[in-house]
Chains A and B, each alone.
Chain A
Amino acid sequence: EPEVTQTPSHQVTQMGQEVILRCVPISNHLYFYWYRQILGQKVEFLVSFYNNEISEKSEIFDDQFSVERPDGSNFTLKIRSTKLEDSAMYFCASSRDYGYTFGSGTRLTVV
C-alpha cells in the first residue's frame, strides 16, 4: 500500500536554528498538507498546498514557516528560527480526492 514518508523521525535543534522537515507524498496525489501535534493536544492544521502554491494556511503558519515542493516528489516544511513552543510532532499528508494519507511524523524537539 502506498505510504507517505517523513524524514527524519526525530530532530533535536537549538532554539533559533532553522529546520527543514521532509516528506515524500504518494506519487499520484495532488494535495499536500502539514499538521502538527503538541504533546497531549489536538492535531492542528498548518497549511495546504496545491498546484505548487499554498491554498490555505492557519494562524499558526506565520512568517517563520514556509513550504516548498522543490522537485516534484519532495514536500518540505521549513521553520526559519525555531522557538521552544515549536516542539511537536509534525505530520505530512497527501490526498488525491477524499481521504488523506498521513505520514508517521517527525518529532521536533527545540532545546
Chain B
Amino acid sequence: DAKTTQPPSMDCAEGRAANLPCNHSTISGNEYVYWYRQIHSQGPQYIIHGLKNNETNEMASLIITEDRKSSTLILPHATLRDTAVYYCIVRVRDDKIIFGKGTRLHILP
C-alpha cells in the first residue's frame, strides 16, 4: 500500500548537499508531500511539506516536479548529525501519517 518509492540507502559527504529522491506517481491533487526523519530510534522529526510549490525552511528545501509525480529533499550542507532514516510521505492534510521504510542516509566524514 506504499504510495511512495525511495532508495533504501544513500551516502553523502559531510559539507555537501544531500539530495534525497522520492517517487509518488499516483499522488492525488489534494495530497501533500511530507518529509520526516528518524535519528537512531528517536521519535520521527518533521522536516518540511509542500503541495506543488517548492518550499524551503531552516532545515531543508523541497523540490516538487511540475507533474507532482516526484520530489527531492535537499539538505544543503549535510553534517554528521543528519545521519538518519528519511521518510517521504504522501497524505491528505488531515489523514494519519503512514511510514514506509524510508532512505537511510549516511553522512561520511
Residues of A within 8 A of B (CB): 4, 33, 35, 37, 42-45, 48, 56, 89, 91, 93, 97-105
Contact = CB atoms under 8 A, between A and B. Distances in A.
Interface centre among B38, B41, B43 (most CB of A within 10 A): B43
B16 interface: no
A91 B43 contact: yes
Interface stretch (B3-11, B61-69, B90-98): B90-98
Interface SS, A side = strand
25 contacts: A4-B43, A33-B96, A35-B99, A37-B41, A42-B99, A42-B101, A43-B38, A43-B44, A44-B99, A45-B99, A48-B96, A56-B96, A91-B43, A91-B44, A93-B43, A93-B44, A98-B32, A99-B34, A99-B49, A100-B97, A101-B46, A102-B44, A104-B42, A104-B43, A105-B42
Contacts of A99: 34, 46, 49
A103 B96 contact: no
Contact of A105 (B43, B46, B97, B101): B43
Interface of B: 32, 34, 36, 38, 41-46, 49, 93, 96-101
Contacts of B45: 102
Contacts of B46: 99-101
Contacts of A102: 43-45
Given A37-B41, A56-B96, A98-B34, 20 more contacts: A42-B99, A42-B100, A43-B44, A43-B99, A44-B99, A45-B96, A45-B97, A45-B98, A45-B99, A91-B43, A93-B43, A97-B93, A99-B34, A99-B49, A100-B97, A101-B46, A102-B43, A103-B43, A105-B41, A105-B43
